[in-house]
């Protein structure tokens, strides 16, 4: 398995050298941003520990760390909506990873059955912030895919 060296305290090295030295947070995680390689649509935001990042790079299939289940999470294992990774990028301070993916199965990423987790727009309405659903197309039925409980 790929091992990652500790990040340099020298910003120039973090930002400009060829070394991948992810800056994992106090919980050992970096943020992962996931977009559709076809049109760039933002699909989801998740987290990766070192194991998930290494497996993603090595296998070409997106792996995350589930904070709620406290476990490695191979995306799509229950739903079939695996993510095949077309490109991986890293940001300037190396605490965020960008995956451009091709989604298998139902072409849906959200556990609600929608294509993207970002299916609601925020709008200001008489001084109050509201959410408005702008994509309600369910590509699968969550109850039958994940089970009622």
Where do contacts with a second copy occur on this chain (CB under 8 A)? Answer: 2, 4, 15-20, 31, 33, 35, 39-42, 44-45, 54, 57-58, 87-93, 96-98, 110-112, 117-122, 124, 127-133
From 60, 4, 34, select the one nearest 118 (Cα to Cα): 34
Question: Is 91 assigned a ligand-binding role in the annotation?
Answer: yes
Q: Is 30 helix (H, G, I), strand (E, B) or coil?
A: strand
Q: Which residues of 83-108 are buried (b: 16+ CB within 10 A; e: fewer)?
A: bebeebebeeebbbbebbbebeebeb
Coil, helix or strand at residue 39 = coil
Q: Which is nearer to a second copy, 33 or 104 (CB)?
A: 33
Output 16 or 77, the one with its CB closest to a second copy: 16
Whichever of 42 and 77 has its CB closer to a second copy, that residue is: 42
Three-state secondary structure call for residue 53: helix
Binding residue per annotation — 36? no
Question: 119, 95 in Cβ contact below 8 A?
Answer: no
Q: How far apart are CA 106 and CA 127, in angstroms?
A: 38
95 annotated binding-site participant: yes
Query: Least distance from C-beta 125 to a second copy, angstroms?
Result: 9
- Closer CB to a second copy, residue 61 or residue 88? 88
117 in a known ligand binding site: yes
Provide the minimum distance between the beta carbon of 45 and a second copy in the complex, in angstroms, as a whole number. 4
User: Can you read off the two tokens belonging to residue 21?
Assistant: 């030295």
Q: Which residues are annotated as a binding site for Zn(2+)?
A: 92, 110, 117
Q: List binding-site positions.
A: 91-93, 95, 110, 117
Binding residues for Mg(2+) are: 91, 93, 95
């Amino acid at each position: 398995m790929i091992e990652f060296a500790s990040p340099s305290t020298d910003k120039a090295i973090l930002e400009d050298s060829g070394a991948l030295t992810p800056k994992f947070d106090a919980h050992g995680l970096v943020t992962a941003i996931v977009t559709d390689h076809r049109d760039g649509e933002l699909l989801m935001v998740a987290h990766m520990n070192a194991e998930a990042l290494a497996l993603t790079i090595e296998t070409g299939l997106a792996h995350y760390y589930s904070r709620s289940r406290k476990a490695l999470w191979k995306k799509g294992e229950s739903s079939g909506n695996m993510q095949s990774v077309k490109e991986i990028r890293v940001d300037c301070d190396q605490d965020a990873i960008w995956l451009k993916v091709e989604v298998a199965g139902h072409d849906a990423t959200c556990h609600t059955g929608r294509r993207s987790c970002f299916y609601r727009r925020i709008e200001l309405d008489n001084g109050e912030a509201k959410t408005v659903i702008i994509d309600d197309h369910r590509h699968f039925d969550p109850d039958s895919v994940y089970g009622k409980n």
